[in-house]
């Protein structure tokens, strides 16, 4: 199904990967909010424990690349992030599978953390303060989804309500990329670099990963290996059967699938 030419800023169906991603982030926001209200003296420690800190990650906090995107700071920013996540993920899910959309989001989030780690390790050379690198929120994943829309559905025009302006998807992705590039020269330079890196990881994933998602590709690979094993077992059983029939004075020929090959010139063949 080809995408329509113009799409107004209305939200797509709330289903599949879109629903899971939004509900995960929303549930994490309220769980963290309740925890902070119940234990206000441990608010900073909880955020530092779950947010992505490259130094802590390199020293054993291996869960942080998977948890930092769930840490939303501020009600307004959380609302905007979830609305963008709903719109971009829902749009992609209209033309791709749920596993593929989940893969794009996950690769973008993990790619953002990977670039932040690289910057942290190169901080002495680049002149950054390593202690200032801390990532929270799902902006990396959202930007990855936007990059996927711009790359795969670049000619689709979004009507930005209430403004009477139509913007192509590829131009919208480029505008956000320019904004992050501008942020490189500000106080959030590490954050901007990391988000751009997440978009780059998303492009690599789109080029290399199967369009039906990694889960589908893994299942296809698994079933292919299983079928090859069963064919090998049938071939081995067929060869044993041929040897047994020759000992009985009869000739039997089986193909690789275990089916008998008829030879009209063989008068001793088994029937």
- Going from the N-terminus, what domains does the chain have, and what CATH number goes with each? 6-212 (1.20.1540.10), 227-271 (no CATH)
Tell me the per-residue pLDDT of 121-135, one tens digit each, with 9 for 90 and over.
Answer: 887 776 666 556 789
Percent share of the chain, pLDDT over 70:
77
Average pLDDT score, the chain: 81
Separation of alpha carbons 117 and 253, rounded Å: 61
Tell me the per-residue pLDDT of 141-155, one tens digit each, with 9 for 90 and over.
Answer: 999 999 999 999 888
Position 25 confidence tier, pLDDT thresholds 50, 70, 90: very high
Other C-beta atoms lying within 10 Å of the C-beta of residue 108: 30
Query: Strand 157-159 and strand 166-168: pairing?
Result: antiparallel
Phi, psi angle pair for 254, to nearest 5°: -120, 145
Least confident of 38-52, 74-88, 165-179, 222-236: 222-236
Separation of alpha carbons 1 and 17, rounded Å: 19
Distance between alpha carbon 183 and the CA centroid of its chain, in Å? 25
Q: What is the pLDDT of residue 269?
A: 47
Average pLDDT over residues 210-239: 64
Output 73 or 67, whichever has higher pLDDT.
Answer: 67
Give the residue from 126, 128, 137 showing the smallest Cα distance to 187: 128
DSSP state of 138: S
């Amino acid at each position: 199904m080809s995408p329509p030419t113009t799409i107004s800023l209305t939200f797509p169906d709330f289903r599949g990967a879109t629903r899971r991603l939004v509900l995960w982030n929303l549930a994490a926001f309220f769980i963290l909010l309740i925890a902070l209200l119940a234990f206000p003296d441990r608010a900073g420690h909880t955020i530092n424990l779950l947010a992505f800190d490259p130094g802590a990650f390199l020293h054993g906090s291996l869960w942080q690349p998977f948890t930092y995107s769930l840490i939303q700071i501020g009600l307004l920013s959380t609302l905007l992030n979830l609305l963008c996540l709903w719109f971009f993920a829902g749009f992609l899910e209209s033309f791709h599978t749920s596993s593929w959309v989940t893969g794009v989001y996950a690769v973008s989030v993990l790619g953002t953390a990977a670039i932040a780690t690289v910057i942290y390790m190169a901080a002495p050379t680049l002149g950054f303060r390593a202690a200032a690198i801390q990532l929270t929120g799902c902006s990396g994943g959202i930007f990855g989804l936007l990059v996927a829309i711009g790359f795969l559905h670049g000619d689709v025009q979004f009507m930005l309500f209430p403004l009477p302006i139509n913007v192509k998807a590829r131009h919208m992705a480029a505008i956000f990329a320019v904004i992050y590039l501008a942020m490189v020269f500000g106080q959030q330079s590490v954050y901007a670099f990391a988000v751009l890196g997440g978009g780059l990881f998303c492009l690599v994933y789109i080029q290399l990963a199967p369009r039906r998602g990694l889960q589908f590709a893994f299942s296809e690979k698994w079933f292919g290996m299983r079928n090859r094993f069963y064919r090998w077992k049938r071939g081995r059983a067929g060869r044993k059967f041929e040897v047994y029939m020759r000992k009985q004075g009869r000739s039997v020929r089986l193909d690789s699938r275990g089916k008998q090959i008829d030879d009209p010139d063989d008068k001793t063949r088994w029937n």
